A and B are shown apart, each in its own frame.
Chain A
Amino acid sequence: MRSWQALPLVTAAVWLPALLLPLANEAVASSVEVSVVDRDAKPVAGVAVYWRLPDGERQVAISGTTAVMDQVDTRFVPHVLVVQTGTSVQFPNSDTVAHHVYSFSHPNQFKLPIYKGDAHPPVTFVESGLVILGCNIHDNMLGYILVVDTPVFGITDENGKAQLTTGDSDGELVIWSPRIRDGEEALVKALVPTGNAAQQVDFRLGKALRPAFDEKTEALAWTGY
């Protein structure tokens, strides 16, 4: 009985490396740990991190790639979403009230009709850039979608860290957050691949962060005033 249960595991152990082998041959993956700290060396969570390909090269997502920007408690969840160019983003509405979502960010401008639930097809972002989301019914709702020309991206966790697996060519690591006030030069670092050896890239911000937007507080009513 025991040996019968172990059989699939043994099979997987044989097959998995074989499946991964072609990928490894195609591009030597380089593991990068990115760390973002503020000027007081405290970790910053929620920072978008992505790998910018050299020479303006664009990698568009394969058709059918999807992501979700939800609306919960009259907030966009997540506050910052990173997607690859070509991704179709769904905007479900988990609230009982209706929302009227829009973006006025060129070239990704759109208006969704007023809706509840999951009433309409997703929005496909074919151009890279920052998409700022608002709701015409709830003036204080604000969210961001960062559309990037690469499949290599992440968001820093509560320790200010994100793990990326980059390709084997030279490129740049870029960070972005609505809270960061530092100039462009502090947000980009060149990245030279080291083969399979793991790399650590640290960003230390020079300017104080803007206050976090989506702090939830129960102390006072902040709508309807």
Chain B
Amino acid sequence: MDRLLTLPVAMALLLSGEFGTADEPSRYRLELGADLSYVDTNGYPSWAEGSAGKLRYDSDSDGLMLSQAYADYSLRLADTLDMHTVALLYSDDIGSTVDFSEAYLEWRPMTLTENRYRLKLGAFYPRVSLENTGPGWSSPYTISSSATNTWIAEEFRTFGTEFSISRKPEFLGGSHTLSLQAAAFYLNDPAGTLLSWKGWSDMQDPYLAPFREIDNRVGYYVNGEWVVGTRFLLRIMHYDNRADPESYEDGQFGWRTKFDHVGLQATLPGDVGLIAQWMEGSTVWGWYYQGVRAVDADFYSGFLLLTKSLDRHRLSVRYDLFDVSENDTYPLDENSEYGEAWTFAYQYRASDFATLAVEWLQIETYRDAWEYFGLEDEKTESQLQISLRLSFSSGT
């Protein structure tokens, strides 16, 4: 989150939580997790080292490491007012970093009406991912997130407010919920930089600063959601950061990024879970040159995930698709790419505190710009990751 907050703030928050008695709930909830990973990679040097690879790790970093840790902390300030903060620690070839990924207040007024109202204020992810429902934006299904949600995690954060109105299920026949969210935000003008210059990838990059306000234009998204019990969920969003593509400040450019997103989650017969997301949009930057802007790219990405849980075991498979097509004509700045990825993951929940995961990921990418590095423009990269997640929670 661009180091908006620092670790001492987190420690102060942790110490402020009171411990409750047996019946009186404590006013906080803390979830901690750490991933010990063994990684074996076969591909280009990692993008995290400023190179071309799609994967977060490369063969230099093969071996055992503490790859990620999170602290997800909620504090109840009043009966209907909560504060949420999520701190993440990342380690890879270029070192470790601790950063806040989300920090916001949520007001949940208790209204005796047919509608439910919610208000968020602060820094939070837009309502896109159906994968990253665990604490610290982790996925209950796989170790690596899809290209779509990785990009959301990297470049999108809503510094602003989201208002949500939903119809209570009992007024829609018992199991249906309809809700509508509208958000207004600041500080997301550089969104789109990474996608154009690096392309899609598998893990968040903690070293970028996509959260800046350059042109003082407020962005927005609107999202509609339909949920049927624990059987079906559909969400549709339109996002527009309304950035001025000719704006520039302190080495950061404004990227006008718009997209539409459709997410679907369903429980299929045989208790097989399905998640599908599709996102399509465009990003433009710079002045006009020969009738188009310096960078003018259309993108789409999507994935389909199937998952099955049996007692302590879970098997998941995901197919990813991603594409950037450039319309601009600047020479030596070819940012188009197309790729597909397969992910196979197995998890074993050994106890409430320990989960073992094995994941194999293969990405096949076509990217013209790789020729500038003297590389083949078509490359298949693969990664085997074995991970032990230790997790702990306390409070209510």
Contact = CB atoms under 8 A, between A and B. Distances in A.
B273 A220 contact: yes
B108 A136 contact: yes
A218 B307 CA distance: 10
A4 interface: no
B127 to A, nearest CB: 8
A102 B80 CA distance: 13
Interface stretch (B18-26, B202-210, B238-246, B327-335): B18-26
Contact of A219 (B23, B169, B308): B308
B130 A114 contact: no
A180 to B, nearest CB: 10
Interface in B74-125: 76, 79-80, 108, 110-113, 116
Contacts of B129: 225
A134 B166 CA distance: 14
B267 interface: yes
A224 B22 CA distance: 25
Contacts of B271: 217-219
Nearest to B171: A132
B251 interface: no
A221 B140 contact: yes
Nearest to A213: B175
A111 B110 contact: yes
B361 to A, nearest CB: 21
Given A134-B168, A215-B230, A210 B113 contact: no
A97 interface: yes
A39 interface: no
A221 B116 contact: no
A98 B396 contact: yes
A132 B170 contact: yes
Interface string A115-137: 11111000000000000101011
A115 B20 CA distance: 10
B265 interface: yes
A165 to B, nearest CB: 30
Given A220-B275, A225-B265, A213 B108 contact: no
A211 B22 contact: no
Interface string B251-283: 000000000000001011001110100000000
B230 A217 contact: yes
A119 B396 CA distance: 15
A222 interface: yes
A223 interface: yes
A65 interface: no
Contact of B110 (A98, A100, A132): A100
Contacts of B396: 96-98, 116
- Using C-beta atoms within 8 Å of the partner chain, give the interface range for chain B: 35 or more
B29 to A, nearest CB: 8
Nearest to A134: B168
A61 B308 CA distance: 48
A224 B169 contact: no
B130 A219 contact: no
Given A97-B396, A220-B275, A116 B134 contact: no
B63 interface: no
B24 A115 contact: yes
Interface string B191-235: 000000000000000000000000000000000000111110100
A2 interface: no
A213 B174 CA distance: 7
Interface string B312-342: 0000000000000000000000000000000
B25 A116 contact: yes
B309 A210 contact: no
B174 A220 contact: no
Contact of A142 (B130, B174, B272): B174
A149 to B, nearest CB: 22
A222 B383 CA distance: 29
A142 B79 contact: no
Contacts of B374: none
Interface core residue of B79, B174, B267 (most chain A CB under 10 Å):
B174
B51 interface: no
A220 B271 CA distance: 9
Interface in A101-121: 102, 104, 109, 111, 113-119
B24 A119 contact: yes
Interface string B125-154: 000011001100000100000000000000
Contacts of B173: 178, 181, 210
A114 B231 contact: no
Given A113-B79, A225-B130, A215 B112 contact: no
10 contacts: A111-B110, A116-B22, A134-B170, A178-B173, A210-B175, A211-B229, A215-B230, A219-B307, A220-B275, A221-B133
Interface of A: 96-98, 100, 102, 104, 109, 111, 113-119, 132, 134, 136-137, 139-140, 142, 178-179, 181, 210-213, 215-225
Interface of B: 20, 22-25, 29, 76, 79-80, 108, 110-113, 116, 129-130, 133-134, 140, 166, 168-170, 173-175, 177, 227-231, 233, 265, 267-268, 271-273, 275, 307-309, 396
Given A219-B267, A221-B134, 15 more contacts: A96-B396, A97-B25, A104-B113, A109-B112, A134-B170, A136-B108, A142-B169, A179-B174, A212-B229, A216-B230, A219-B272, A219-B309, A220-B267, A220-B275, A225-B130
